Structure 1
Amino acid sequence: MKKRPSNLIYILPNLFTAASIFSGVFSIISAVGGNFEKAAWLIMLSLIFDGLDGRIARLTNSCSKFGVEFDSLADMVAFGVAPALLMYLFVGQEFGRFGVVASALFVIFGAIRLARFNVMTMSSEPSVFIGVPIPAAAVFISLLVLLFQKYGFHDDYGIVIVLLSILVSILMVSNIRYPSFKKVDLSPKHAMKLFVVILFVFFFIFMFPIEGFALMFIIYILYGLIRAAMLLPKRVIKK
């Protein structure tokens, strides 16, 4: 009788991982059916499930090797295949083989990113990510689709999404560091500042959902690039 609660706790985070896979598959089906807006939002829903499974596992002390592997496979579907197919069906197919290559690169580099993450981190929680995390890259592509569809940019500037997808694919396997936000300082000294920032972000996203989320992820992607560019002269001088 005493083992049942622990077994249920062990299953709970994996249910959220399964939900992430379901959202990813549903996104793929929606994209194939031509409902690109729905497909993009479903990838963002996968991001929520992906964030919950790990946190619940840590809170309930139910982390396991199976959970880590299951989560990686879920990420490959929801944040690798789903956004690559969404990008290809939305604009990539207009560019023939170049569109196919761009979609394939996203999946391949995403798989490399996940494998490297698993090998490097083991069971420890990183304070920074080496390369853009695949969920951030996937949501970035999804938000581009939402933005371009909303403003009709894809008719004339579809190539921009294809090129940006190649850029984030390369950033996933780069050595550029990105913040993980897994160890945010919640001490009383910083709690109020964080609360104010979150409040302003919430209201901005409430008024402009697509633009708000897009701005957040664009800043995140640019942060790593700008930081790397600023540190480059120091590294050159040291050498």
Structure 2
Amino acid sequence: MHDGADPVVDQDEAPLRPRRKGIYILPNLFTLAALFGGFYAIVMAMNGQFDRAAYGIFIAAVLDSLDGRVARMTNTQSAFGEQMDSLSDMVSFGAAPALIVYEWALKGLGKLGWIAAFVYCSGAALRLARFNTNIAIVDKRFFQGLPSPAAAALIIGFIWVMDEAGFKGVSRIDWLAWCAFALTLYAGLTMVTNVPFYSFKDVSFKRTVPFIVIVAIALGISVITIHPPLVLFGLFLVYGASGYAVYVYRKVKGRPVSVIATSTDEPDEHGLHH
């Protein structure tokens, strides 16, 4: 007969509460700092300070290149960090450059201006989504399409050069607004192409290098300091065209141009394999 007493629960058999997962601080600090750089750039552009907007984007690009390396070096990779990095990239290298170039030049072109800005912004989103889904099946030595930090540097570098040259009120200067329009479309569409761009991921900082390499790095830094806006824009302009040069070279030599190694998840995407 049931006496109404509560059953005794063995404390050893009580279910344990799942341990809360923490967040690694160091790599995510770099990611948050890169996000702040993109946000700062938008605010500066809204106030017409396009040189400071350029500083924000370029600093964000440097920080973005460091967070992944820091995570790998300190063994602090996490799924949270990967998602945070993608969201930060979308703001700093997708939305921010689109808004900045629109405010700087494209708003004078009416509908065509904001359409070009949207093409760039959506291109960055699509490129990041494709990168995340194809990360396990691509050749690590190459990016599939222009990486978003380089695309942002291409646009912001152009704005920085022209701002330093004294061009103000660019939305009322037709030829310069159309140049910005063409460059924005080029960067946005190149991000979603299958053109291979060298990733520099096979460069190891743990290996020894000849002394001349250090001398070349020192000379490179010296050249950049001569006129940072022009030199940096020139470097990213060359990089932004390098993928097409590699593509043509491989085509001429009869070599495969796709950076996709194997694909079993999406066999219908034939365009990725040619």
TM-score when normalising by structure 1: 0.89
Cα pair 2:37 2:57 within 8 Å, conserved: yes
* 1-structure distance, mates of 2:144, 2:159: 26
Cα pair 2:145 2:196 within 8 Å, conserved: yes
Residue 4 of structure 1: aligned partner: none
Residue 240 of structure 2: aligned partner: 221
Residue ranges of structure 1 left out of the alignment (5+ in a row): 1-6
Q: Equivalences for 1:185-204 in 2 at 5 Å?
A: 187-188=207-208, 190-204=209-223
Residue ranges of structure 2 left out of the alignment (5+ in a row): 1-21, 256-273
Q: CA deviation at 1:158?
A: 2.1
* 2-structure distance, mates of 1:101, 1:196: 45
* 2-structure distance, mates of 1:209, 1:173: 28
Deviations along 1:53-79, whole A, 9 cap, x unmatched? 111101001111111010000000011
Equivalent in 40, 44, 56 of residue 54 of structure 2? 40
RMSD: 2.4
* 2-structure distance, mates of 1:69, 1:139: 22
Residues 1:157 and 1:124: Cα distance change in structure 2 (over 3 Å) = closer
Q: Which has more helix, going by share of residues? A: 1
* 2-structure distance, mates of 1:99, 1:158: 9
Q: Is 2:87 aligned against 1:104?
A: no
* 1-structure distance, mates of 2:96, 2:212: 36
Q: CA deviation at 1:234?
A: 4.0
Q: CA deviation at 1:229?
A: 2.2
* 1-structure distance, mates of 2:104, 2:131: 29
1:110 aligned partner, one-letter code: A
Rg (Cα) greater in structure: 2
Residue 149 of structure 1: aligned partner: 163
Cα pair 2:109 2:177 within 8 Å, conserved: no
Moved over 4 A (4+): 122-125, 185-188
* 1-structure distance, mates of 2:225, 2:41: 23
SS in 1 for 2:194: coil
Q: CA deviation at 1:185?
A: 5.5
Cα pair 2:105 2:176 within 8 Å, conserved: no
* 2-structure distance, mates of 1:219, 1:192: 26
